[in-house]
Structure 1
Amino acid sequence: MRQTGIAHPPLPLPPNAQSENLEAFHRWLSEAIPLVPSLGIKRMRWQGEVLNWDLALSANLNDKGTGFGGGLAAQTTLIGWCWVTLWLRAQGRQQDVVVADAGQRFLAPVRGDYRLVCRPRDAAASQRLDTMLAEKGRGRIALLQELYCGDTLCLQAQGDYVVLPSTTVEA
């Protein structure tokens, strides 16, 4: 059982960028954030600079039998946090990530299982983040999240995520 005020131990970095085990990451995430097992995440895929999740609607129903907006908002925020965390891990970095700003626009009801897609807002965003981290040890990136039910775009979201300076103390 997690204790408030006590950080969860980080997941060890993979030996190289191509060896990230997303199933192990999902298990760690489910321990680190107690809400995660309730979100209905069935599968994660990391493809280039795009993170995809397949999700079950049954875990996120509202009183009308469609997707609960608050839960969908939480999922879009979390997938952005995961995008930054996985991107950092691929760079061999283990730093804390926080959401600084987030917003959603609901376009259509979610009536079945769905997928979330997360990527940088623009093509140069990850390069700018890499430069900020190299120069300052911290940085910020803007991400977009889209939720699709079949081919229907049901939700567009965006978030700004901050990578905090490393707190590693040298002996």
Structure 2
Amino acid sequence: MRDIGIPHPRLPLPKRGKGDDLAAFQAWLWEAIPLVEHLGLERMEWQGDVLCWHLKLVPNLNDKGTGFGGSLTAQTTLIGWCWVTLWLRARQRQQDVVVAEASQRFLAPVRGDYRLECRPQDPHATSVLGERLDERGKGRITLVQRLYSGDRLCLEACGDYAVLPEA
């Protein structure tokens, strides 16, 4: 059981030249953020610069038998946080990440298991973020999340994530 106000221990950085083991990261995430184990997250994978989650609908049902907007919104925020955290870890940086601003647009009901994709809004954003981190020790990036049930786009979201200076 987690104590309020006590940070969860950080996951050690991956060895240089090696990417994160996403299954180990997911297991750590379940411990670090207790809500995660209840979101129906089956697995995560990288597809180029896109972080993709595969999720079950059942834990996220609303009273109408479709996806609950609150769960879906939490998932879009969290996948963005994971994207930035994993991106930093691949660069041997262990800095705190927070969401600064987020918005969602619901386009269609989610009626089955789904996938959630997260990527930078601008293709050059990672270069800019890397430069800012090197120069100032902090930076921001805007990420776009899209939720698909089958081939149907059901939700679009956008989040601005801040990388805080090292403590």
When normalised by structure 2's length, the TM-score is 0.98
What residue identity is the alignment partner of 2:24? A
Q: Percent identity?
A: 67
Q: Which residue of 1 aligns with 2:85?
A: 85
Runs of 4+ aligned residues of structure 1 deviating over 2 Å after TM superposition are 16-19
TM superposition shift of 1:51: 0.1
User: Following the alignment from structure 2 to structure 1, what is the Cα–Cα distance between the partners of residues 124 and 19?
Assistant: 24
- The equivalent of 2:73 in structure 1 is 73
Instruction: Name 1:62's counterpart in structure 2.
Output: 62
Equivalent residues in 2 for 1:22-171 (5 A)?
22-167=22-167
The residue type paired with residue 52 of structure 1 is C
Unaligned runs of 5+ in 2: none
Letter in 2 for 1:58: V
Question: How many angstroms apart in 2 are the aligned matches of 1:126 and 1:17?
Answer: 18
Shift of 1:17: 4.5
Aligned partners of 2:95 and 2:49: how far apart in 1? 18
Residue in structure 2 matched with residue 2 of structure 1 by the alignment: 2
Deviation per CA, 1:9-67, whole angstroms, max 9, x where unpaired? Answer: 00000003433100000000000001000000001002221100000001100000000
Does structure 2 conserve the Cα–Cα contact (< 8 Å) formed by 1:17 and 1:89? no
Gaps in structure 1 of 5+ consecutive residues = none
Residue type of the alignment partner of 1:8: H
1:55-104 residue CA offsets vs partner (Å, 9 max, x unmatched): 00011000000000010000000000000000000111000000000000
Aligned partners of 1:17 and 1:140: how far apart in 2?
A: 24
User: Is 1:40–1:60's contact at 8 Å kept on the other side of the alignment?
Assistant: yes
Q: TM-score scaled by structure 1?
A: 0.96
- In 2: Cα distance, 1:117 partner to 1:16 partner: 26
Residues paired across the two proteins, number: 167
Once residues 19 and 143 of structure 1 are traced to their aligned partners in structure 2, the CA distance between those partners, rounded to angstroms, is 21
Mapped to 2, the partners of 1:63 and 1:139 lie a distance apart of: 40
What root-mean-square deviation, in Å, do the aligned CA atoms of Structure 1 and Structure 2 show?
0.7
